[in-house]
Amino acid sequence: MRAVYAESINSKDPLAGLVVGERPDPQAPEDWARVTVKAAALNHHDVWSLRGQGLKADALPMILGCDAAGLDEEGNEVVVHAVINDPGFTGADETTDPRRSLLSERYQGTFAETVVVPRRNLVPKPEGLSMVEAACLPTAWLTAYRMLFVRGGLRPGESVLVQGVGGGVSTALITLARAAGLRVYATSRSEDKRARALEIGAHEVFASGERLPVKADAVMETVGRATWEHSVRSLRPGGRIVISGTTSGPQVDDAMLTHVFFLQLSVIGSTMGTRDELDALVQLLHSTGTRPLVHAELPLERAREGFEQMVAGDQVGKIVFTL
């Protein structure tokens, strides 16, 4: 079958190991399902895998991709939940399994004609949601949903600052927050991206590091080092930072612990989301008409173009490969 896979790992030139070619058809173990992939979305995780973060050399060659929408063996339209749990895990929240993995780490990913996943990982896709739109949801949009409403506990009328407009998580945060009745602020170094943030739902936008006119109830943080100080300073007393990534680096020069304890701020980690949260997210989009922002649709054969756009940071929204 045709697939996009990592043949080698290169921390300095990640695309050097990217191949579009043939891979064996996957075999489905007991209680796993075969999904015919119709659309699969690109994530930063896929670039990090090519750099060797989360993907070990002894797992190569590895088909990349966490997100997919397609058809199960009976022809039902489904969305794939990307978190694969250890067989012995019995907890209620899959994201707390210390031995969990994402598709494309230990198990072959979704950038292929067929992917196999545990049957429980299939979520029904409503008719009103296209395959391309549905494929955007399992990683970036699910991460945003959990950050805002599960870990962040945000409610209509509260305010939220989204740091670093551009990628799939940040655009999802803005869109979902606006749909849920939150007051939405957003930052970016790019004037074009700030304008785009206004178009998709932000109430006000600011240059990176610019002081907000009011303090926010919560900050959604995916950038890390470059925005940490601004995130802390932008919170009201008792506010919370929800962090799910550190694209600019995990180390900070000053953790601003005095601000954290004196203002009684909460710093909350968030990772991906559960299968049931993905189902809730799908239903939210179906009932509200909210839709993911898609930057580009490319046939799987042109996957390298999508990876190049992501590495360059040119996209606003999701890049989706179609089959």
Cβ contact 197:175 at 8 Å = no
Tell me, what's the pLDDT at 124? 97
CATH class name, domain 153-269:
alpha beta
pTM for this model (two decimals): 0.93
Q: Are strands 216-221 and 159-162 parallel, antiparallel or unpaired?
A: parallel
Cβ contact 123:282 at 8 Å = yes
Q: Are strands 216-221 and 235-243 parallel, antiparallel or unpaired?
A: parallel
Q: Are strands 204-207 and 183-188 parallel, antiparallel or unpaired?
A: parallel
CATH of 2-138+273-322, one of 3.40.630.30, 3.90.180.10, 3.30.70.360, 3.40.50.1820: 3.90.180.10
Tell me, what's the pLDDT at 323? 96
- Confidence category of residue 55, pLDDT binned at 50, 70, 90: very high
Tell me, what's the pLDDT at 303? 98
* CA atoms of 225 and 228, how far apart (whole Å): 5
- Confidence category of residue 225, pLDDT binned at 50, 70, 90: confident
Mean pLDDT calculated for residue range 13-41? 96
Cβ contact 43:87 at 8 Å = no
Task: Name the token pair of 205.
Answer: 């936008």
Per-residue pLDDT of 125-177, as tens digits, reads: 999 999 999 999 999 999 999 999 999 999 999 999 999 887 789 999 999 99
Mean pLDDT calculated for residue range 183-204? 94
Cite the residue boundaries of each domain of the chain with CATH code 3.40.50.720.
153-269
- The candidate with the shortest Cα–Cα distance to 240, out of 209, 264, 273, 272, is 264
Cβ contact 199:205 at 8 Å = no
Cβ contact 211:188 at 8 Å = no
* CA atoms of 313 and 323, how far apart (whole Å): 24
Mean pLDDT calculated for residue range 51-75? 96
pLDDT at residue 315 greater than cutoff 90 = no
Task: Name the token pair of 252.
Answer: 């900070």
Cite the residue boundaries of each domain of the chain with CATH code 3.90.180.10.
2-138+273-322
HEC assignment per residue over 158-188: CEEEECCECEHHHHHHHHHHHHCCCEEEEEE
